[in-house]
Amino acid sequence: MLVTGGAGFIGSAVVRALVARGAESVVNVDKLTYAGNLDSLQEVSADPSYYFECVDVCDQGELERVFRTHSPTAVIHLAAESHVDRSIDGPDEFIRTNVGGTFSVLQEARRHWTSLPPADAERFRFVHVSTDEVFASLGTGGLFTDVTPYDPSSPYAGSKAAGDHLVRAWRRTYGVPCLVINCSNNYGPYQFPEKLIPLTILNGLADEPLPVYGRGENVRDWLYVDDHADAVLAVLALGRVGETYLVGGDSQRRNIDVVREVCALLDELRPDAAVGRHESLIRFVADRPGHDFRYAVDASRIRRELRWALSVPFDSGLRKTVTWYVENRWWWERVRSGVYRGERLGLDARR
Ligand code: NAD
């Protein structure tokens, strides 16, 4: 099994789940950008099934070596630049990795797949992990379905949409056995503290302002990361080749309500007399350009066809997440100080 982006937030959850379920071999191909962190894989790094390859997915030569060395039975492609705000400030890396990198991984997977004996080729799978942001914005009603037309707003969403199109084209033109997942917002342990939930938790713990875009009215559907990892493994094992699976948490929340819920949990788990109620730290800031109003997916196909089910509802998932950050300072203090990759993060990178 080859997992790209396995040192990232979702990728590390997928790698941990694969190792826990006894996968024969799990090869993590990751370049270790600012978002890649081997600390997130501590619990599996000594497992004999786990291998790490520090490789850029845009490097075709290195990919060829990795595929020849490990001869994977499947590819789960998660490596990407993933932060919308960064894509607005500097789209270049997003195009390079999310479009060019997806192209390179597809090309190598295709070369490898065509070289496999027929029985192995029959079983080979390429699972591409993408986002619901490719569909743009919903108004107050309705859900994205697998026939919603693509209409991306941000450079991040555009680059992911381009990657999705390449994956489908490699399936139709070359027959590579690809499947696509479009998933809603993930949250949980080991998420880099630039995203809304961990940023709010860590700023709240440090008595720093809690920035919220606009008036916090934008709505996202939240999914606990281990439920997403389960969905990825279900699609890998049981999904129909050529199919698209939408995955979501059935938990639509306004950003402001998510931030308030984090504040209430901090009040309970880490009461701070100097701050009083953590809600007092909320600061509304100028809205993100092109900020889509609402995303929410219809996940009925994966539930119906692959028997996937949510196991962590939002309220308990958020409690688990806040508790994890409170109890795992070692992880995020190394991230915030830059020790995890030998450099220090500037404030701008966190905001
Ligand atoms: P992340 O930013 O936490 O991790 C990305 C990983 O990819 C990092 O380990 C990074 O080092 C690696 N990477 C980046 N560029 C690379 C390159 N050129 N070569 C090799 N490795 C590279 O991202 P995430 O939140 O874990 O997201 C993983 C995937 O899931 C992405 O494809 C993302 O688009 C998708 N997704 C994320 C969410 C979400 O809410 N986080 C929701 C839906 C889909």
Q: Which atom number of ligand 1 is nearest to the Cα of residue 185?
A: 40
Residue-level pLDDT at 99: 98
Q: Which one of 53, 62, 133, 164 is the catalytic residue? A: 133
Alpha helix positions (H), the chain: 9-20, 60-70, 84-89, 92-94, 102-115, 118-123, 155-174, 196-205, 225-238, 255-269, 300-306, 314-327, 329-337, 347-350
| Active-site residue flag, 132 | yes
The domain defined by 2-190+224-251+293-314 folds into Rossmann fold (3.40.50)
Q: Spell out a b/e string for 182-194, using b for 16 or more CB atoms within 10 Å of the CB, else e.
A: bbbbbbbbbbbbb
Q: Whose CA is nearest to atom 19 of ligand 1?
A: 56
Q: At what angle do helices 102-115 and 155-174 cross, to 10 degrees?
A: 20
Q: Is 340 assigned a catalytic role? A: no
Low-confidence ranges of the chain (pLDDT < 70): 342-351
Residue 348 pLDDT: 39
Q: Please give the distance, rounded to the nearest whole angstrom, from the Cα atom of residue 237 to the centre of ligand 1.
A: 22
Write the DSSP assignment of 141-210 as a string of letters. S--B-TTPPP---SHHHHHHHHHHHHHHHHHHHH---EEEEEE-EEE-TT--TTSHHHHHHHHHHTT--E
User: Which atom from ligand 1 is nearest to the alpha carbon of 6?
Assistant: 9
CB-defined site of ligand 1, < 6 Å: 5, 7-11, 30-33, 35-36, 56-58, 78-82, 97, 101, 129-131, 160, 183, 185-186, 192
Which residue's alpha carbon is at the smallest distance from atom 13 of ligand 1? Answer: 79
Which pLDDT score, from 0 to 100, does residue 136 have?
84
- From 3, 15, 76, 78, give the residue whose CB has the most ligand 1 atoms within 8 Å, as the site to mutate: 78
Each domain of the chain, given as residue ranges in start order, spans 2-190+224-251+293-314
